Each structure stands twice: as C-alpha cells, then as structure tokens.
A = this chain, B = another copy of it.
Amino acid sequence: MTKVHTDYLWFNTSERQEFIRITDDIARIVSASGVMDGMVLVSAMHITAAVYVNDWEDGLIHDFQEWLEKLAPAGKSYRHHLTGEDNADAHLKRTLMGHQVIVPITNGKLDLGPWEQVFYAEFDGRRKKRVVVKVMGV
C-alpha cells in the first residue's frame, strides 16, 4: 500500500549565510515514515534558501560560497531592492544551487552514493524558515 508521510525542518541561522548538513534529519524522517522503497522530496519553502546534494568538505563549501559571490554578487543595485528588500543576490544564489532534491529510498534507507550529502543552504538567514520533506513509496 502506498504511504505518504510529511514532515518539516525548521531553521533560524545566526549568520546571514550558512550551509547546514541535513542528511541525518532526512534519514530519520524516512525511517519514521515506514517507507521501504520510494522517494523523498526535500524542498526549501523560502525563496532565498537552497537544498542541494554535494560533498561534506569545508574547503569545497568555502569554494561554493566564493563562486556564488562571484556569479551572483551581493551589494549591487538590483531592481528588487526598490521594494525595500536587500536580498536579490540570495534569490540568484539559491537558483544556482537549486531549491530541492529528491533522494531515492531503497530497503528503507536513503540510496545515496559514497560522498553524497544533503545540505540546506541559507542565503538570507536570521529568521525562521522551513524545509518540507515529503516521503512517498511502499
């Protein structure tokens, strides 16, 4: 029988930009769902945050952050800022990283490769934000 299970992760980072590993949180939710074979969607519910899969290595995370700053710099005169906002760069950065991933579930576990880790990337933090986790399968 098909099971669908929903949960949410909350974040309130102390820094404007923070990358947080959430693989274990997703694994825990999948375990609670009872789904043995299927998929789990992990999706940022705020439009200045990303969810992505890559390496758990501080140097690479630093490289990602420098690279994003180069391709989508803060502090430019974005049109979006006429609304009073100051975070247009965060919308662009999150677009480059992607805002959601699907992780396959096999034998009740996240079916990830040896170096795959799921990350939440915050680009406009210091406020409460959510990620939705939707598990579906048998």
Given A63-B92, A96-B96, A136-B137, are A113 and B41 also a contact pair (CB < 8 Å)?
no
List the B side residues contacting A116 at CB < 8 Å.
Answer: 45-47
Which of A11-19, A22-30, A72-80 is the contact stretch?
A: A72-80
Copies of this chain present: 3
Given A53-B47, A95-B52, A116-B47, are A104 and B80 also a contact pair (CB < 8 Å)?
no
Distance in angstroms between the alpha carbons of A91 and B56 in the assembled complex: 12
Binding site for B on A (CB under 8 A): 1-2, 4, 6, 37-39, 41, 43-47, 52-55, 57-60, 62-64, 66-67, 71-72, 78-83, 88, 91-92, 95-102, 104, 106, 111-116, 130, 132, 134, 136-138
